[in-house]
Structure formats: C-alpha cells, structure tokens
Structure 1
Amino acid sequence: MIYLRTIRLLREQFPQTERYPFALPSIRQLDALELTSSVTFFVGENGSGKSTLLEAVAYQCGFHTAGGSRSNTYEVDRAKASLGDYIRLSWMPKQTNGFFLRAESFYQFASHIDQLERERPTGYAAYGGRSLHDQSHGESFLSLFIHRFSGKGIYLLDEPEAALSPMRQLAFLYVMKDLVAEGAQFLIATHSPILMGYPGAAILNFDTSPVEEIRYEDTEHYQLTRRFLENRDRYWIE
C-alpha cells in the first residue's frame, strides 16, 4: 500500500543561508520525490541529507522526532527537523498510524515506555512482554518491529540496521514482508546492502543531485561490499 505519494520541498521558502541542510546539493536541487513502492530506501553517504529528509517527514506526520508515534509526547530534546517546515506531503489516503524510529535516540524512547508502564501497567504488551531496556539492542528493535508495528501504517526508520546483526536484518526483512502484506508503507534511511535487497523496493540515491532512483546492483553499498567479500586481501596495503 502506498499512502504517502509525494514529498515536495518548498524551496522558494528556504532561508537565505549556506548552512546545513539547505546548502546540500541533494536538497537544493530537489523539487519533489514521487513514492512508487510500499518500501522506499533513502541511501547515500553520511551527511548526504537522507536522514534529514526522513525526520522532516516524521515531523510533518506528527511523530515525535526523537522517536515514536503521534501519541508519544515524552520530554526529551527533539531532533531539530531542520526541513520540517519546508516540505509538504501528499497522501492518498491520509495515514496517521505509524512510527518514527531514530536509532541514535532509541534509549530515550525505551525509557519513555518504562515510564508509561509504571503509570499504566500493560505488561509491555506492545514490546514483547518486558522492558526494552531488559533486552539486547537487537532484541529490543525486533520486539518493536514485531509487537508494536501493525498493518495499515507508515513506518519511518532511520538506520534500523544499527542494532541488528546480519541474521537479524534478514529476520527483519521477513517482518517487513508480512507488514507490507497487511498494508504497511516503509521509508527507510539505511547503509545496509542486506536491507536494500528487499524485493521490489525503490532505492533513492542522495549522492546524486537531484536525488534519483538507482538499481540495487548499482548502489555503492552493494558494489563495495561485493568487491570486498570476493577479494578482501586487496583492501589491505602492507
């Protein structure tokens, strides 16, 4: 299912500044992104703007920009969402159910869930039956994906592979497959060639200006990983 159809940048309203992220080539020359798949990956080098645009989408969706859904209102420094006021989202139909995962602030989200559990005990029903802090980093991510996510929602994930081993990344692909079958849409910023291999996904390359779709086999992530695995000794210089 594709709920979010278009991400449009209001470039005419950009502040007159050379500061990040407004000076990024990927952002300065981008008018709109048309989303054509239930699973879309944002890829590119660090600092290319992929996570910045993803958090701007989260901001416009009403999700907590440090991580969470529309119902999570915990007190913690929110991500700046520098582009949040400079994009417009086009929906068909509008979807308010969903979640924004920000790997770097997941600890604060887990602490927020503990606080909610103390106030209104549920037995951590939406998180595998125990505190996310009582699980390993990878286990807590998968608990979130399996128990908290459901069909008919939009899920924005910023580098979910940060806590996942290669085996757990494969497990997550199967979780995604089931959720997509139930009506979920995913936008994922990632460096993982495993996750990018999701069948039928659209991959948008933020290393080009403007951003454009790229074949899985043409991504630097795939090519470099493949070259390294096939001949790792060549990368070590005596």
Structure 2
Amino acid sequence: MFLKRIELQRDLIPTYKEYPFSIPTIRTLDQLELHNQVTFFVGENGSGKSTLLEAIAEKCGFNTAGGGRNNFYDVHHSESALGEFIRLSWWPKATNGFFLRAESFYNFASHIDELRADDIRAYNAYGGSSLHEQSHGESFMSLFSNRFNGNAIYLLDEPEAALSPQRQLAFLRILHDLVQEGESQFIIATHSPILLGYPNATIYSFDQETINEVKYEETSHYQITRYFLENRERFLRDILEDD
C-alpha cells in the first residue's frame, strides 16, 4: 500500500459557497483513511467522487486530463479545483502510476499517437498500435494490459464506460493479478455493480452529506440492479406506465 490518508486543508479554503466546496461530501470532508489496496468511490453524478479522485491525481503529479507523470498535453478545463486544498499521506511514496479519465480518453489516445515519431519506446508501452485504431473497449483493455504494471498507484474514473460486462470481468482479473503480484493500489470511481463486487475491497459512498464506508450489498448499484433482474416486468411497468 502507498496512499494511506487524504486530508482536507481547511485553513486554505477561502469560501465554502463555491465549487468544489458547494458539494456536501467535499465540504464535510476531514480526512479519509485508505486501508486497502482496492478502494471504490460510489455515488450519484455530482456527488463529488470524481472531483476528489481528480484532486488526488493532481497531487500525485499525474496529468489531470489522463495519463501519468510523463504525459504532457493540454485539455481545456482539465485542471483540478480541489487539488491545492488536500494533503496526501504516503508510506512509502509512490512515484509510478496512472490516472484514467474516461471522458477525455480520446485526447489521451491522440497524445500517444504523437509519441510514435518522437518516443517509440513510450508509444510501444501501450501495445505498439494506435489506441484510435481499436474499439473503445479494446483501447481500454490495451491500456490496462500493457501500461499497467507493479509497484504503482492507479486512479480510474469510470473505467467501465467503454467495457462490456464480459470485459469488466476481464479487467477484474487484470486488477487482481496486479494487486496480488505487483503490489499495486487502485482507487476507482465507478457505477458498475460488477466492478464493485471485487472481493474485500473498501467501498466509500458519496450519496450522503458525508463520505461513508458501506458494504457491497448496501450500495444502490447492487440493490437497483438486483431488483431489476429479479422483478424486470414490475420495475418497467412502474416507471413506464402512466398513473
């Protein structure tokens, strides 16, 4: 394990009325302990999970548009609004890793294509073929299979965005092998009940005013998915039919 604690430096905050401190979970954050190699952030859109993950990426020195320490390219509005207000506690400090931001992955793939002429070794680290010449899901799996290795911290924002259920299961195998063999740490913001099912992971919910640790079966992702699968006709009738 590398990252042990995330702390909000309240003495640096000028106002709680503006973003990102207008988000309840960010405004009430004191410190968040990480005691597992795999940690999930879950919650509705706008709950603050991606905001916190992006801030961690900035403090790690990763490109907040997506990438690692050595990926230099610009994407408009990719900077973190929270990064300067948090402190990370490490043991030991991780210097290797990657931040996956699904919404700007296209820009990252273009950046990797540009490396082909200037740094073929860096280009080949992603599988030796253009990420743009693969399907969205294939490019994600190529990244996971070729770029990810041991002794690193990986911050993933909705990695399931491009993955079919079958590929989500394949990703879980990659994650498991890296955790077991390579001493890697993962912090993942996700809506996927498949990914959340990874054994013995810590799950932090952002759905209340404070960030709370919850069990897998307590997440709305599990509960809604299970109810839908077990009561599909009733569920669809309730939401689709007029009163």
1:123 CA drift (Å): 8.9
Structure 1 position 77, deviation (Å) = 2.5
Question: Aligned pair 1:42/2:41, yes or no?
Answer: yes
Residue 24 (1) aligns with residue 23 (2): yes
8 Å Cα contact 2:102/2:161 also seen in 1: yes
TM-superposition CA deviations, 1:50-90 (whole Å, max 9, x none)? 00000000000000000000011123335131101000000
Residue of structure 1 in register with 2:129 after alignment: 130
Partners of 1:73 and 1:124 lie apart in 2 by: 14
Q: 1:217: which partner in 2?
A: 217
Percent of paired sites with the same residue: 63
Instruction: Name the aligned partner's letter for residue 236 of structure 2.
Output: W
Partner of residue 177, structure 2: 178
Q: Which moved more, 1:44-53 or 1:13-22?
A: 13-22
- Alpha-carbon distance in structure 2 between the residues aligned to 1:186 and 1:17: 30
- d(CA) in 1 for partners of 2:122, 2:200: 37
Gaps of 5+ in 2: none
> Tell me, what secondary structure is at the counterpart of 2:234?
helix
* Secondary structure of residue in 1 paired with 2:193: coil
Partner of residue 155, structure 1? 154
Question: 1:214 is aligned with what amino acid?
Answer: V
Verify the 8 A CA contact 1:30 1:210 in the aligned structure 2.
yes
**Secondary structure of 1:20's partner?**
coil
Task: Report the residue type matching 2:23 in the other structure.
Answer: L
The alpha carbon displacement at 1:17 in A equals 4.3
Letter aligned with residue 27 of structure 1: I
C-alpha deviations, 1:69-121, integer Å up to 9, x for none?
00111233351311010000000000010000000000000000000112233
The change in CA–CA distance for 1:113 and 1:81 in structure 2 (over 3 A counts) is same
Amino acid of the residue matched to residue 58 of structure 2? Answer: Y
SS at match of 1:47: coil
Where does 1:52-63 land on structure 2 (aligned, <5 Å)? 52-63=51-62
Larger deviation: 31-40 or 126-135? 126-135
Amino acid at match of 1:64: N
Distance (whole Å) between structure 2 residues aligned to residue 189 and residue 61 of structure 1: 17
- The 8 Å contact of residues 153 and 183 in structure 1, kept in 2 or not, is answered as yes
Letter in 2 for 1:18: K
Q: TM-score, normalised by structure 2?
A: 0.94
The 3-state SS of whatever aligns with 2:207 is coil
Q: What CA distance in whole angstroms lies between the structure 2 residues aligned with 1:114 and 1:68?
A: 13
Alpha-carbon offset, residue 10 of structure 1:
1.1
Between the aligned partners of 1:44 and 1:123, the Cα distance in structure 2 is: 35
Shift of 1:125: 2.3
Q: Which moved more, 1:223-232 or 1:16-25?
A: 16-25
Residue 72 (str. 1) matches residue 84 (str. 2): no
- For normalisation by structure 1, the TM-score amounts to 0.96
Aligned residues: 237
How far has the Cα of 1:124 moved from its partner? 4.1
Give the secondary-structure state (helix, strand or coil) at the position aligned to 1:207: coil
Query: Residue type of the partner of 1:48?
Result: S
Which range is displaced more, 43-52 or 16-25? Answer: 16-25
The code of the aligned residue for 1:174 comes to R
